[in-house]
Amino acid sequence: MRMIAVCAVLAAAMTGPTAEAQDIPAATERMNDYLDRFSDSVGPGYAVVIVTADDVLINRAEGLRRAANGAPLTSDTPMYIASQTKAYVGLLGAVLDERGILPLDTPIDTYWPQVRWPDSMDPADYTLRDLLTHQVPFRNTLITFLEANIMNIAMEDYPELMSLAATPRDPGFRYDNIGYNVYAAILETATGRNWRDWLDEIVFEPLQLEHTSTRTSDFGLEELSWGHLWLGEENGWYDVQPKTDGMMQSAGGIVTSPNDMITWLQLQLRGEAPEAGLTHSMLQTAQTSYVETGREDAENPYDMPCSGYALGWELCTYQDFDVHIHGGTFTGNRSMMAFVPEEGVGIAVFSNSDNMTGWWTQTAVRMFLHFLSGDPEADQMVSDNIDRYAAITRNYLGWRLEQVAENEADSVWQGWDWSPDAELLSEYAGSYRNASLPINLDLRVSGDGLEATMGGYSASLRPARIDLFGGRSHPLEPFDQVRFERNETGEIIAFDWGGRRFDRRH
């Protein structure tokens, strides 16, 4: 792996796939100009870092970490990176493999012989490496929903939930959270320690990533970057509170700062960190593709041809560069990181909104690659992107608001003309439980409606007509129907939310 520092670039010409190495300073300058032209329109906040193995070329943190209180975003602000977590867990898997603690070629049924996998697959034919490269042909939407939105599932509950809700899918690669969720549960079963503690010991602490954690509780809410939804000029920003610890999971459960991302990307480019106990072979294992993804048509989150998947890295090509890349997406947050081994350069882009910066985040990564390659059309692309940005965000918001308006106008709601008082609303309050879920859903009176909480998840329930509410977690989400059921004496005994029944406990 060639490592290119700025000083070396200025001293001598070193060639890459399409760009000469001396283009890195020029690409950096053009990228800074590009970011300058967006700095007043991308919000509330964003950060961009670009590095070589030994130098920091760009380290920009702009705007606010929380719009509601005007707190500034800095290079030490922990920001949620969602599915980029997979690359960290993938490296963890490579380290544990090399150290003989949990070999990647262990069959997945080794530690859970009692689990009932789908009849269409033999678990002995698949390994932990297959889990981390999305190759085990099953789904479990119950586990992935709970882990990402509600709670951490106790290790001892995994076998039962696997048997209860695992369903088959076609063989081959299919991106999903479930492989990483199951790997983490097997890791805890095998070692008695959870994935969080292992990452602390093997990655975060040795690399001195002081603003990186799998637990948001390690920082105060005032320190973290919040997510945001843009509701338009009249209503402004809607705050999305950072995930609770219970919603931080092995397929999407890390906050990290731009400064710590610099260290992480430089590790990928150097290919080792002997002082941290991370060897070249460990990094090589983590960065090697193990499956053909069939995503060469660029119909993927990166809008570039991608053919392989390593341990938490998608392997793509763009501007004739071989690119290791992974993004992260969750309500109110968008992020992406990438590195080009041959050119010895890496980039990461963070944003703490989604409908204002989703398109911008991925485009910023691609624009740097255009600058790096010396693409003669890059200047025109810059102008086009600036011209398109306002229209894209405006049209996307308009589309989302239209979906909400159509949903609210549906005849099922009968005009939303039911206005129960607090006493009547209190009849619906209480604790409810779905037979498949290991946690209660609690309803309480809140304002003119109800608030639902289940683990880290919360949603508002708006009264529509007697025994029918509309439930949603944020203003740009269409309402789900929440229908309550009464017994023969008129007491509320259950409700149905999107086809899932919850029985009243008290």
pLDDT tens digits for 433-480?
999 889 999 999 999 999 999 999 999 999 999 999 999 999 999 999
β-strand partners of 144: none
Structure tokens at 358: 């989703």
Tell me how far apart the alpha carbons of residues 484 and 430 are, in angstroms, rounded to a whole number. Answer: 12
First to last CA, the chain: 62
Please list, residue by residue across 319-350, b when 16 or more beta carbons sit within 10 angstroms of its beta carbon and e when fewer do: bebbbbbbbbbbbbbbbbbbbbbbbbbbbbbb
3-state SS record for 222-276:
CCCCCEEEECCCCCCEEEECCCCHHHCECCECCEECHHHHHHHHHHHHHCCEHHH
**Do the beta carbons of residue 363 and residue 382 sit within 8 Å?**
no
**How much is the pLDDT for 272?**
98
Q: Determine the Cα angle at 155 with ends 150 and 159, to 5°.
A: 100
**How much is the pLDDT for 358?**
75
What domains appear along the chain, each with residue ranges and CATH number? 6-85+213-396 (3.40.710.10), 94-191 (1.20.58), 412-504 (2.40.128)
Cα atoms in the 13 Å half-sphere on the side-chain side of 260: 23
AA identity, residue 179: G
**How much is the pLDDT for 14?**
35
With 80 as the cut, is the pLDDT of residue 425 above it? Answer: yes
With 50 as the cut, is the pLDDT of residue 39 above it? Answer: yes
Tell me how far apart the alpha carbons of residues 91 and 286 are, in angstroms, rounded to a whole number. Answer: 5
Classify 64 as helix, strand or coil.
strand
Classify 316 as helix, strand or coil.
strand
Tell me how far apart the alpha carbons of residues 205 and 329 are, in angstroms, rounded to a whole number. Answer: 26
Tell me how far apart the alpha carbons of residues 364 and 342 are, in angstroms, rounded to a whole number. Answer: 20
β-strand partners of 351: 46, 334
Give me the chain's average pLDDT, please. 93
Residue 402, CA distances (Å) to 18, 406, 476, 477, 479 in order: 44, 6, 10, 11, 13
DSSP 344: T
Q: Where would I find the H helices in 374-411?
A: 378-408
Tell me how far apart the alpha carbons of residues 494 and 502 are, in angstroms, rounded to a whole number. Answer: 5
Q: Is the pTM of this model over 0.85?
A: yes
Phi and psi for 119 in degrees, rounded to 5? -60, -20
Torsion angle, CA of 486/492/493/496, rounded to 10 degrees? 80
Residue 16 pLDDT grade (very low, low, confident, very high; cuts 50, 70, 90): very low
Which residue is associated with the tokens 């602490």? 205
Residue 42 pLDDT grade (very low, low, confident, very high; cuts 50, 70, 90): confident
**How much is the pLDDT for 298?**
79
pLDDT tens digits for 335-350?
999 999 999 999 999 9
pLDDT tens digits for 84-108?
999 999 999 999 999 999 999 999 9
With 60 as the cut, is the pLDDT of residue 8 above it? Answer: no
Give the sign of the dihedral formed by CA 99, CA 102, CA 105, CA 106: positive
Give the sign of the dihedral formed by CA 212, CA 218, CA 223, CA 224: positive
Residue 3 pLDDT grade (very low, low, confident, very high; cuts 50, 70, 90): very low
Q: Is residue 215 left, alpha or beta, with left meaning phi > 0 and alpha meaning psi from -120 to 50? A: beta
Please list, residue by residue across 195-225, b when 16 or more beta carbons sit within 10 angstroms of its beta carbon and e when fewer do: bbebbbebbbeebebebbbbbbeebeeebbb
